[in-house]
Amino acid sequence: MLINKNLQISLEIERISKYIANWLYSNEQFLNVITVPHNSSLIFMRGIADYLDKGKKVLYITNEDESCIDLLTNIKKNTYIRDYSYLRTYNVELEKSLIVCNFKNAIKINKKFDLVIYDDIRSLPMYNKYEIIDIMAKNCKEKGKFIAYSIESVFKKKREIVLPVLGTKTPIVEPRVITTKIDLNNDIPYTIYDYLRWAMKYEKKIVIYVPDEKKLYRVFKYLNTYCKDLNKNLVYFSKEDKDLKTVFNFLKIKKGIMVTDDFKENIYQLIKDKEINEIVFFANHYMYDYKKLVYFCGEKAWIKKNIMKEVIFLGNEETEDIYKAKNIIRSFNKEAWEMGFLSI
């Protein structure tokens, strides 16, 4: 039965891949491909390869770290495409048929493409749907094709395809929300303190996310000063620190708590699929819009058999963004279950 679930998901991915490739030759101009965070770009390989064979020009916008861009990895592994370039400066290699670049470099491009794909799945979402539409429109020919790869519909009242799973038979993590009246700059609720003690007792790892460097310092200082039974296992990592040695060391130890303001921007590739639970401190902070909150939960709920990943949103209130994020995550899991993709 488990094999059938995985096969069913593989067949659905293949079906969507074929659909996208055929859609490129339809009369429609806009396509929403809606899926969970961190999903693969494989579903675009067939369509991109075929479009390039027809002499078309393609722009793929992604804000992934250039050292681990999923599309480029898939091109090298699964295709014979060589007429492509990753754009670091806007005037280099623009004659290639496939250009891959980030949002900031896409702004500088002075060229129109037959197909523009915006990948808002593989990295921390930094731009809203209006900014995404604007950058795509700037770089697409008048009768070109637009594909948005996102957790939600970007183009209103346009065709949608939904892939509600990560490629496995497990749901994505649904967050637990804890609200408190305590000022998290200076204290933590006992519920969280007790949770951290439990985690250390049973040799688990916790990552605590905070929205900025000032709060990083304050939360770390509080835990280090007032939670003496936790400070032996406490680690501080700033996203400004490009040296990932602290993160590597954290992964080597049996148990620990890492406090960071890195929203999985630099550390995701290191901690994904690891036995690490996560707490988003100040979850009601304006920095955490619903897309970022969904991104925190975009991993398999079951890390291993009988080991479930947990994500906690901790804040002073449940904001509209928290509520919306919960609903998006729940709807993905509900749809995946109804489509017969999930196994418990």
Query: Who has greater pLDDT, 192 or 244?
Result: 192
CA R_g for the chain: 21
Q: Are 127 and 102 in contact (CB under 8 A)?
A: no
Mean of all residue pLDDT scores within the chain:
92
Mean pLDDT in residue range 127-142: 97
H helix runs in 156-231, sequence order: 190-201, 213-226
C-alpha span between 9 and 5 (Å, rounded)? 6
Query: Who has greater pLDDT, 288 or 3?
Result: 288
Mean pLDDT in residue range 280-300: 93
> Residue 1: pLDDT band by 50, 70, 90 thresholds?
very low
Does position 102 have pLDDT exceeding 50, yes or no?
A: yes
Beta strand ranges found along 223-324 (DSSP E)? 234-237, 256-260, 276-280, 302-304, 307-308, 311-315
**Cβ within 8 Å of residue 323, ≥6 positions away:** none
Share of the chain above pLDDT 70, in %: 94
Does position 90 have pLDDT exceeding 60, yes or no?
A: no
C-alpha span between 186 and 171 (Å, rounded)? 35
pLDDT in tens, 324-335: 999 999 999 999
C-alpha span between 288 and 281 (Å, rounded)? 10
**CB-count exposure of residue 65 (10 Å: 0-12, 13-18, 19+):** middle
**Cβ within 8 Å of residue 225, ≥6 positions away:** 231
159 HSE (CA, 13 A, CB side): 15
pLDDT in tens, 172-201: 999 999 999 999 999 999 999 999 999 999
Q: Are 216 and 261 in contact (CB under 8 A)?
A: yes
C-alpha span between 55 and 339 (Å, rounded)? 37
Distances, alpha carbon 211 to alpha carbons 91, 219, 285, 288, 318, in Å: 35, 11, 7, 8, 16
For residue 177, give the nearest of 196, 192, 199, 165 by alpha carbon: 192
**CB-count exposure of residue 281 (10 Å: 0-12, 13-18, 19+):** buried
Mean pLDDT in residue range 262-285: 85
Distances, alpha carbon 315 to alpha carbons 94, 183, 205, 234, 266, in Å: 46, 9, 21, 21, 24
C-alpha span between 321 and 290 (Å, rounded)? 4
For residue 216, give the nearest of 177, 252, 263 by alpha carbon: 263
Q: Which letter, b or e, does each residue of 122-160 get, where b requires 16 or more Cβ atoms within 10 Å of its Cβ?
A: bbbbbbebeebbebbeebbeeebbbbbbbbbbbbeeeee
**CB-count exposure of residue 117 (10 Å: 0-12, 13-18, 19+):** buried
> Residue 54: pLDDT band by 50, 70, 90 thresholds?
very high
